[in-house]
Structure 1
Amino acid sequence: MGEIDKRKRLSEEPFAFEVRKKGTVAIFFEGKQIKMIRDKEAERLIAKISKVENNITEVQLLLAKITGNFKHGNEKLGKNKSK
């Protein structure tokens, strides 16, 4: 895990997930929903998470990989956030 998470961001647990009623999986980053996964992809993700659920870093890595490269540094700050 040393080369993958050099800055130790995954140990802070920025990702979370929630399995919904219809089998969809919602993925959150720092409390905000960023992705919804459905059908076969959701089933595969749930199976992978079940295998490594005791290792928090591995779960975080799975969630990070499935969300892809969604942060590019050009995200807008909220009205109440200071720059």
Structure 2
Amino acid sequence: MDNIDKRNRLDEQPFSCRVTKNNTVFIEYYGKQVKTLKGKDGEKFIKKMNAAENEKDTQLIMAKVTGNFKRGNER
């Protein structure tokens, strides 16, 4: 885990998520929605989040799911 987040950016907890009744997941980065997961992808994500041991693991899961969305010009 230490090798993945070398700059400790996940300690700031930049990611958050909301789950609706029909298991649609909205993932946000500093309050801005960056990813929506529906159907099987949403269910798979929820299972991973429930299996996470601590908050840093949940942040890492959300970071991996969102992928490489930052290109350097976001604010």
TM over 0.5: yes
Aligned residues: 75
| Poorly superposed stretches of 4+, deviation over 6 Å | none
Task: List gaps (5 residues or longer) in structure 2.
Answer: none
Q: How does 1:4-83 map to 2 (within 5 A)?
A: 4-52=4-52, 54-75=53-74, 77=75
Distance 1:74 1:50 in 2: 33
Task: List gaps (5 residues or longer) in structure 1.
Answer: 78-83
Higher Rg: 1
The CA RMSD over aligned residues, in Å, is 1.0
Instruction: Letter of the 1:62 partner, please give it.
Output: I
Distance 1:74 1:7 in 2: 19
Instruction: Letter of the 2:71 partner, please give it.
Output: H
Distance 1:26 1:68 in 2: 14
Report sequence identity in percent.
48
Instruction: Letter of the 2:54 partner, please give it.
Output: N
